[in-house]
């Protein structure tokens, strides 16, 4: 069975794999090999003094190594110390502290040695130190009295612990003290004040030291700080503090920056390569100084530079020698600046350039161990053999030491050993073990056989061929069963045997063979490579904007290799989806029901298979109507204006476009809100115009694209003073309702427009163009006044003025009105009609004098109606039609007239009161037109070569019919039209017999009527001539004849009787007479039928399982079906040999003539149609 292994296509996995490629090959554990240290404790090992000390040392080798320890350079005999034990099959020491031991007694430098017959490996020097968390020494802390604006440093001075403690400042309530640019903690734990303020006064500045190893916190005694303001100093305080200059009664003054730490203008700092460089500058001054950092002669390293503690600390991570140089901090405020230069030198403990690697050689081979390291200062290199300095180690003629290299020539098995390389300088050391193992081994392939690798197309494929052998085997790769060796740029061959295909394609799939050979043998192994289609998201989720409480769906439709099983995971903001039933995860979508504001965020669809992973994201923005504004405030109150301000509510992801301001008049319309104004969404104040005598309150509504917010809470009320009206009623009109009156109407002022109590109206009128005085009347708060006794329809000047208890409104403007109208007095004259065509006429008239209209002229109405049709003398109901022509028009068009008809019309003038008298009736006639289509076309009496056509005359002849036109043409089976024949028929005809037509042919007919004007629309029909009369009569009529139905019933009854008789005889065991004749013959199975007597073989059903006798009927497929022998009329009738008498009884004998079988075998097995059955008997 093949083993599956997924090769990740990610860069991380590839890097890890390549790291394994460059590492040394391991010797299989079943072969002899020197010890190798696999696990050890760190060099600087700080232990908890309350727990057991575990010093790790693990190693492998063949045979398994034994372990020993040194302590402070001398042998450590663990058997003599009851508190120390070594784990079985291990070199790890356990010092039992929890049962009486003291950690301090085991401080020292420890080293482990793992040894077997092939050599000895040693561990690093492990320095054991127990952690310490000492208490603060008791000290008397004096209160700090500080003048406002001065700097202050509160010293922490924590006890020296191991490791150093973490420092922080808190108060008595265990709350961290707030820090800022003004107040901050230094790297040494002290608390620095750039300048003190009165709020810094407190008595509980407490420094805490947390020792992580022992999980303890030590507390310093509280420090008291009292800040004195110069304004609050009195004589008593001044007397108590007279001995000091600093507390002189001077005002708080601003001061330029001064560095509190570091002191002086320059300092130095040494840091080791790879560590974190921390540089600090804290300054005093008022205003608080701002710190800036630069590197002289260079730039601060990008991506590794960070600023902490309000830019007072410069942090550079992973420093190297290139970071050495001068770093300047500059403290600046409005009064000046100060700077400090820190000279940084980066030293380096030893670090590897080339660490020695295990060496496996066969007898007689050559090899080298290389140990190269760097550092600042440059480290010294020393070699040990099996833990002993090489200078005093046993001689080995095959070994030669050349500085950082050991050269081996013609090694033998006794040359196996473990060599240690030590690279050291003043800042540390490196120790590496590397063995030389002399073996003679044929090749081995350690990769399992038939391993299956699966990769995604266009990704790297790494096929493993882990091997071992001594001498080192050569590795070759082949593809396929009989493939040639793989070479070329499309492959990468790694030293550990791995074959890399940088870009695997579909044709890269198949079987690959790895062959390992050396002088001692050869071995091969096959692996399988499958290439899979990449997983793709073909429909990615899209950005969505959804309203609150709506529903939204994100699609994530994927395409993947059919052999891989994908899993789809949805994330919200790179975290799991909320545990909420509103989130519905479907096969290829995510649906969120009843969306809320907290659903805002980025949704990611991640598709994972065992080989690859793809993802796509989309943002969901939840929008809603804005929240209502709040905190409405009225300011700047004046008699006619006020300023309203508010705070907008949350816009809910849709910007506010405007604010609508409404007002309520609690004095006139309490509870009713009116529109006041609208301002842009960027504005939060509005200057509002006010009216007198209104008790205002306001509310604000925010508007965005989604809709309007709920109204804000109302503002406070504001009552304006009364005044005379500012405006008069609008929409003043004077219109008479009767011929002798004038009705004056207007829109009353609204409550707030009255400007005060006692609202009334002064109504004035006078006849226009007559030298009359104004007539006036004062009415209550109404909207109408009627003036009686006026002449009919004369113009009046009208005006309405508002007034209240405080006075009149401004003088109103005048409007022109008219007294009431009456019906017009005269009819239009000189009515003329011009007939344009058979359906259209134009009518003219003279206008009536305006004085006779007695009202507003609205237009003229033309009444017209059809008197009779000239082609038909019959009269019918008269339906009058009316056309209205607005304004002072004197002509009009009459459409939709019927041709060849007689019409009458009259004209009347119209005003606002109604219609005037009609003009005398005018008669006009329309000319002939083309007729409508014939009312019907019917085709009857089809024969072989003729058809009879009948038709009805047109419903609307529209004139005198002159003739009919008939056109016809044949249509073949493919619906193609034949030649067209045209016949002209007199108008008095209503039928026609068409002769000499083709039989059994379909014809299409086109028929229309004509007047002298032209042809009317046509009517179409289709008909078919019949075929041979005898054939037609038999095919069409026989199935419905009574004699045929009776004949079929008789045949069915006869068949039923025969079946019943056969069934009864068979159940009684009797035989047909034919059976008795057959019994006399020798062969009862096959007996020919005699032609002279017409008898047939023995009756048999399907249960007898005997072959059919000669002459019996069989289907064409030579099979016998039981149901086929029961009901078939053809099987019994035998074509023309079967006959019926007149009463329908069957009179022919059963026949089985052999010579008829071929013809009958081709007959259909389906039941015949009645027509065909009868044809067979004729």
251 pLDDT exceeds 70?
A: no
pLDDT at 1041: 65
431 pLDDT exceeds 90?
A: yes
Residue whose C-alpha is closest to residue 108's, from 76, 137, 138: 76
- Give the position of tokens 């006041």: 676
What confidence category does residue 484 fall into, taking pLDDT thresholds of 50, 70 and 90? confident
Residue whose C-alpha is closest to residue 1144's, from 1060, 1055, 1062: 1055
pLDDT at 1101: 39
pLDDT at 45: 94
Mean per-residue pLDDT for 545-571?
A: 94
Distances (CA, A) of 186 to 166, 181, 573, 665, 981: 12, 12, 37, 65, 118
For the chain, percent of residues with pLDDT exceeding 70 = 85
1120 pLDDT exceeds 60?
A: no
pLDDT at 1112: 36
4 pLDDT exceeds 70?
A: no
1009, 974 Cβ separation under 8 angstroms? no
Residue whose C-alpha is closest to residue 1005's, from 1026, 989, 1020, 985: 1020
What H or E segment, with its residue span, contains residue 790? none
876 or 932, greater pLDDT = 932
Q: Of 128-137, 247-256, 775-784, give the lowest mean pLDDT range.
A: 247-256
State how far the Cα of 1138 lies from the Cα of 1145, in Å rounded to an integer.
11
Rg of the Cα atoms in the chain: 60
106 pLDDT exceeds 60?
A: yes
711 or 237, greater pLDDT = 711
pLDDT at 687: 95
Q: pTM, whole model, 2 decimals?
A: 0.54
- Give the position of tokens 């004509």: 1010
854 pLDDT exceeds 50?
A: yes
What digits encode the pLDDT tens for the residues 441-472? Answer: 999 999 999 999 999 999 999 999 999 999 99
What digits encode the pLDDT tens for the residues 1001-1034? Answer: 999 999 999 999 899 999 999 999 987 554 444 4
pLDDT at 627: 95
DSSP 176: B
State how far the Cα of 362 lies from the Cα of 442, in Å rounded to an integer.
10
823 pLDDT exceeds 80?
A: yes
What digits encode the pLDDT tens for the residues 118-169? Answer: 999 999 999 999 998 888 888 888 899 999 999 999 999 998 888 999 999 9
| 585 token code pair | 């995860």
343 pLDDT exceeds 80?
A: yes
What digits encode the pLDDT tens for the residues 951-984? Answer: 999 988 988 999 999 999 999 887 788 889 999 9
pLDDT at 835: 94
Mean per-residue pLDDT for 795-812?
A: 94
State how far the Cα of 402 lies from the Cα of 1162, in Å rounded to an integer.
109
State how far the Cα of 1063 lies from the Cα of 1048, in Å rounded to an integer.
23
State how far the Cα of 818 lies from the Cα of 964, in Å rounded to an integer.
65
What H or E segment, with its residue span, contains residue 20? helix 11-22
DSSP three-state, residue 1137: helix
| 1012 token code pair | 């002298």
- Number of Cβ atoms within 10 Å of the Cβ of 9: 19
pLDDT at 1034: 45
State how far the Cα of 913 lies from the Cα of 1071, in Å rounded to an integer.
116
State how far the Cα of 53 lies from the Cα of 9, in Å rounded to an integer.
44
- Phi/psi of residue 1112, each to 5°? -80, 155
pLDDT at 1089: 36
What is the pairing mode between strands 266-272 and 336-354? parallel
Alpha helices in 1020-1153 (DSSP H): 1029-1037, 1042-1068, 1073-1079, 1129-1133
Length of the chain: 1178
- Phi/psi of residue 889, each to 5°? -75, 150
Burial of 1119 (0-12, 13-18, 19+ CB in 10 A): exposed
Is the four-CA dihedral 779, 780, 785, 789 of positive or negative sign? Answer: negative
The angle formed by the CA atoms of residues 1122, 1126 and 1128, to the nearest 5 degrees, is 115
State how far the Cα of 359 lies from the Cα of 407, in Å rounded to an integer.
11
What confidence category does residue 1038 fall into, taking pLDDT thresholds of 50, 70 and 90? low
- Give the position of tokens 């790879």: 274
814 pLDDT exceeds 50?
A: yes
pLDDT at 1076: 43
What digits encode the pLDDT tens for the residues 856-898? Answer: 999 999 999 999 888 765 556 678 999 999 999 999 999 999 9
What digits encode the pLDDT tens for the residues 399-415? Answer: 999 999 999 999 998 89
What H or E segment, with its residue span, contains residue 245? none
State how far the Cα of 114 lies from the Cα of 126, in Å rounded to an integer.
15
DSSP three-state, residue 287: coil
pLDDT at 101: 77
Mean per-residue pLDDT for 602-624?
A: 95
Burial 170-205 (b: 16+ CB within 10 A, else e): eeeeeeebeeeebbbbbeebbbbbbbbbeebbeeeb
Mean per-residue pLDDT for 301-324?
A: 95
| 364 token code pair | 């007689």
582 pLDDT exceeds 50?
A: yes
pLDDT at 668: 87
pLDDT at 1078: 39
Burial 732-767 (b: 16+ CB within 10 A, else e): bebbbebbeebbbbbebbebbbbbbeebbbbbbbbb
């Amino acid at each position: 069975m093949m083993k599956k292994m997924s090769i990740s296509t990610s860069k991380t996995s590839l890097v890890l794999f390549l790291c394994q490629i460059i590492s040394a090959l391991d010797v299989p554990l079943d072969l002899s090999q020197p010890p190798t240290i696999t696990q050890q404790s760190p060099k600087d090992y700080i232990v908890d003094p309350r727990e057991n000390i575990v010093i790790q040392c693990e190693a492998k080798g063949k045979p398994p190594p034994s372990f020993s320890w040194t302590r402070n350079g001398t042998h450590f005999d663990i058997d003599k110390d009851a508190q120390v034990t070594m784990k079985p099959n291990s070199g790890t020491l356990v010092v039992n502290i929890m049962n009486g031991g003291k950690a301090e007694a085991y401080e020292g430098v420890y080293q482990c040695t793992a040894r077997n017959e092939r050599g000895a490996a040693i561990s690093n020097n492990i320095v054991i130190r127990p952690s310490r968390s000492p208490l603060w020494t008791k000290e008397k802390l004096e209160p700090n009295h500080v003048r406002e604006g001065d700097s202050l440093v509160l010293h922490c001075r924590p006890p020296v612990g191991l490791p150093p403690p973490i420092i922080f400042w808190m108060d008595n309530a265990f709350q961290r003290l707030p820090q800022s640019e003004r107040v901050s903690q230094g790297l040494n734990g002290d608390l620095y004040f750039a300048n003190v303020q009165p709020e810094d006064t407190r008595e509980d500045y407490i420094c805490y030291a947390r020792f992580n190893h022992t999980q303890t916190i030590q507390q310093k005694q509280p420090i008291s700080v009292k800040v004195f303001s110069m304004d609050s100093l009195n004589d008593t305080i001044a007397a108590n503090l007279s001995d000091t200059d600093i507390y002189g009664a001077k005002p708080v003054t601003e001061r330029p920056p001064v560095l509190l730490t570091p002191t002086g203008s320059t300092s130095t700092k040494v840091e080791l390569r790879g560590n974190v460089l921390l540089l600090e500058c804290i300054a005093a001054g008022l205003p608080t100084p701002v710190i800036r950092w630069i590197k002289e002669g260079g730039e601060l390293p990008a991506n590794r530079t960070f600023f902490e503690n309000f830019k007072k600390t410069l942090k550079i991570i992973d420093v190297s020698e290139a970071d050495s140089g001068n770093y300047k901090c500059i403290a600046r405020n409005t009064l000046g600046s100060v700077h400090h230069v820190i000279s940084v030198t980066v030293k380096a403990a030893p670090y590897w350039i080339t660490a020695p690697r295990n060496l496996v050689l066969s007898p007689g081979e050559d090899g080298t161990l290389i140990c190269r390291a760097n550092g600042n200062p440059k480290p010294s290199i020393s070699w040990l053999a099996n833990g002993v300095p090489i200078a005093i180690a046993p001689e080995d003629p095959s070994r030669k030491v050349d500085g950082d290299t050991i050269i081996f020539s013609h090694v033998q098995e006794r040359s196996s050993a473990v060599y240690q390389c030590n690279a050291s300088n003043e800042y540390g050391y490196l120790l590496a073990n590397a063995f030389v193992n002399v073996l003679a081994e044929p090749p081995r392939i350690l990769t399992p056989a038939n391993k299956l690798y699966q990769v995604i197309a266009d990704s790297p494929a790494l096929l493993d061929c882990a091997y071992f052998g001594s001498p080192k085997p050569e590795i070759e790769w082949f593809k396929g069963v009989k493939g040639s060796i793989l070479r070329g740029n499309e492959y990468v061959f790694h030293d550990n045997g791995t074959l890399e295909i940088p870009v695997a394609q579909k044709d890269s799939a198949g079987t690959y063979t790895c062959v390992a050979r050396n002088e001692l043998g050869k071995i091969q192994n096959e692996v399988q490579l499958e290439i899979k289609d990449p997983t793709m998201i073909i429909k990615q989720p899209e950005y969505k904007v959804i309203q609150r409480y709506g529903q939204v769906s994100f699609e994530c439709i994927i395409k993947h290799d059919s052999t891989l099983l994908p899993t789809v995971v949805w994330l919200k903001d790179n975290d799991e989806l909320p545990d909420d039933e509103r989130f519905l995860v479907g096969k290829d979508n995510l649906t969120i029901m009843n969306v809320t504001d907290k659903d805002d965020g980025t949704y990611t669809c991640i598709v994972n298979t065992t080989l690859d992973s793809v993802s796509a994201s989309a943002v969901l923005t939840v929008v809603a109507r804005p929240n209502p504004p709040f905190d409405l405030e009225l300011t700047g109150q004046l008699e006619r204006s006020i300023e309203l301000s508010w705070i907008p509510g949350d816009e809910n992801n849709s910007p506010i476009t405007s604010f609508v301001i409404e007002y309520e008049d609690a004095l006139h319309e309490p509870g009713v809100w009116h529109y006041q104004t609208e301002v842009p969404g960027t504005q939060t104040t509005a200057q509002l115009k006010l009216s007198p005598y209104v008790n205002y309150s306001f509310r604000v509504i925010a508007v965005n694209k989604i809709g309007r917010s709920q109204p804000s809470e109302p503002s406070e009320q504001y009552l304006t003073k009364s005044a005379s009206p500012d405006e008069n009623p609008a929409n003043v009109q004077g219109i008479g309702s009767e011929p002798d009156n004038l009705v004056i109407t207007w829109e009353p002022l609204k409550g707030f427009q009255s400007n005060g109590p006692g609202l009334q109206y002064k109504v004035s009128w006078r006849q226009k163009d007559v030298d009359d005085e104004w007539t006036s009347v004062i009415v209550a708060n109404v909207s109408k006044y009627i003036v009686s006794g006026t002449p009919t329809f004369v113009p009046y000047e009208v005006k309405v003025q508002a007034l209240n208890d405080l006075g009149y409104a401004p003088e109103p403007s005048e409007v022109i009105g008219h007294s009431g109208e009456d019906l017009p007095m005269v009819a239009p004259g000189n009515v003329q009609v011009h007939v344009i065509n058979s359906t259209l006429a134009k009518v003219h008239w003279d206008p009536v004098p305006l004085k006779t209209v007695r009202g507003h002229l609205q237009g003229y109405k033309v009444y017209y109606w059809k008197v009779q049709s000239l082609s038909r003398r019959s009269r019918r109901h008269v339906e009058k039609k009316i056309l209205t022509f607005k304004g002072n028009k004197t002509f009009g068009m009459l459409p939709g007239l019927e041709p060849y008809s007689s019409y009458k019309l009259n004209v009347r003038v119209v005003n606002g009161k109604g219609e005037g008298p009609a003009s005398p009736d005018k008669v006009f006639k329309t000319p002939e037109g083309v007729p409508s289509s014939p009312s019907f076309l019917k085709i009857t009496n089809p024969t072989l070569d003729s058809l009879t056509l009948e038709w009805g005359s047109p419903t609307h002849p529209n004139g005198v019919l002159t003739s009919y036109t008939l056109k016809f043409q044949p249509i073949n089976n493919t619906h193609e039209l034949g030649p067209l024949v045209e016949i002209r028929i007199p108008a008095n005809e209503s039928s026609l017999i068409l002769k000499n037509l083709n039989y059994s042919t379909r014809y299409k007919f086109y028929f229309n009527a004509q007047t002298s004007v032209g042809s009317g629309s046509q009517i179409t029909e289709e008909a078919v001539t019949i075929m041979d009369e005898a054939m037609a009569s038999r095919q069409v009529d026989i199935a419905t004849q009574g004699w045929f139905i009776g004949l079929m019933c008789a045949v069915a009854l006869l068949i039923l009787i025969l079946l019943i008789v056969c069934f009864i005889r068979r159940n009684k065991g009797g035989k047909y007479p034919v059976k008795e004749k057959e019994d006399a013959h020798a062969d009862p199975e096959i007996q020919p039928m005699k032609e002279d007597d017409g008898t047939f073989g023995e009756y048999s059903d399907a249960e007898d399982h005997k072959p059919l006798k000669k002459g019996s009927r069989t289907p064409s497929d030579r099979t016998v079906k039981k149901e086929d022998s029961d009901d078939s009329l053809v099987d019994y009738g035998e074509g023309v040999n079967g006959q019926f008498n007149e009463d329908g009884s069957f009179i022919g004998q059963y026949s089985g003539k052999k010579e008829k079988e071929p013809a009958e075998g081709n007959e259909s097995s389906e039941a015949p149609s009645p027509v065909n059955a009868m044809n067979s008997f004729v």
